Amino acid sequence: MGLARSGTSVVTGVLRILGVDMGPSKDDKANPRGSHEDIDFVKFHKELFEMLGHGRDFWNPPSREAILAMQSKVDVKIRALLDKKSKSNSLWGWKHPRSILTYELFLPYLVNPHFVLVFRNPLSTALSSMEHTRRLNRPLNLNLPQALRLVHYYQAEMLGFIEKHPDVPAHLVSYEDVVLDPQKEAAKMARFLGLGLSDETVGAVTEFVIPRDRLPMEKKKRRSFFFGKLPRLIRKR
């Protein structure tokens, strides 16, 4: 659970390396190592928000109360989705920013849920959100006050989750700490989930997490023709 542009992709990638099945995901030009968002949960949240009004998305969210009022209309879809994901996997999970507002829809049907909550410096998240919405060519790009208000809104919802469900295991992660010391933070997540951590896994985590000073170069490489566009074109063919 975490905001868009707050480091959830890198944390989810580490969880995948640790052995958590995070489901199939699409390429994401904004993330050099991928977004790791399960396409089935992406589809579910897109359809749910469209049911709540035209133009509703993460950047223009409906209220959580309006979402919870949809329980009876999406109950069958949620049951089918969770049955599909849990059928062959003892340890699985998903990541989607809108889950901050929809977790109550899923919670009654989850077996032994563990939540990893990702936090990032609010100003950094807001600035990244502004850059991201410009790339999306949204009709209304976020300015800094709007972006900061969204950050505080969603972080308040995450804190509300912790207060409302103290009995549900939750592990808080700082994106900055993951980038600074990926081995240490991966070990914490592994302990939280009761997983082992081999030397091979530690090496894979270290290779996966991109240091901050290399991130601009990796993003540029990802968007280039030979490293980004051409491989995606080949895969589509």
Which tens digit of pLDDT belongs to each residue from 143-194? 999 999 999 999 999 999 999 999 999 999 999 999 999 999 999 999 999 9
Taking only the tens place, the pLDDT of each residue in 197-234 is: 999 999 999 999 977 555 444 445 545 444 555 454 44
**Considering only 10-14, 37-41, 155-159, 211-215, which range has the smallest mean pLDDT?**
211-215
* DSSP labels, 144-203: HHHHHHHHHHHHHHHHHHHHH-TTS-EEEEEHHHHHH-HHHHHHHHHHHHT----HHHHH
Q: What is the pLDDT of residue 54?
A: 84
Taking only the tens place, the pLDDT of each residue in 113-141 is: 999 999 999 999 999 999 988 887 766 67
Q: What whole-number distance in Å separates Cα of residue 147 and Cα of residue 126?
A: 5
Q: What is the pLDDT of residue 135?
A: 82
Q: What is the pLDDT of residue 212?
A: 54
The CATH number of the structural domain formed by 8-236 is 3.40.50
Q: What is the pLDDT of residue 28?
A: 66
pTM: 0.84
136 Cβ contact partners less than 8 Å away, ≥ 6 residues apart:
none
Q: What is the pLDDT of residue 175?
A: 96
Ranges of each domain in the chain: 8-236
Q: What is the pLDDT of residue 234?
A: 46
For range 41-57, the mean pLDDT = 93
- Paired with 173 in beta bridges are 118
Q: What is the pLDDT of residue 225?
A: 45
Q: What is the pLDDT of residue 224?
A: 47
DSSP 119: E
Q: What whole-number distance in Å separates Cα of residue 237 and Cα of residue 146?
A: 40
Confidence check: pLDDT of 235 > 80: no
- Phi and psi torsions of 21, nearest 5°: -75, 110
Q: What is the pLDDT of residue 30?
A: 62
For range 22-43, the mean pLDDT = 82
Instruction: Measure the CA dihedral 208/173/42/159, to 10°.
Output: -170
Burial annotation 186-219 (CB, 10 A radius, 16+ → b, else e): bbbbbebbebebeeebbebbeebbbeeeeeeeeb
192 Cβ contact partners less than 8 Å away, ≥ 6 residues apart:
114, 116, 169, 171
Confidence grade of residue 195 (pLDDT, cut at 50, 70, 90): very high
Burial annotation 54-86 (CB, 10 A radius, 16+ → b, else e): eebbbbebbeeeebeebeeebeeebeebbeebe
Q: What is the pLDDT of residue 191?
A: 97
Contact indicator for 116, 103 with CB cutoff of 8 Å: no
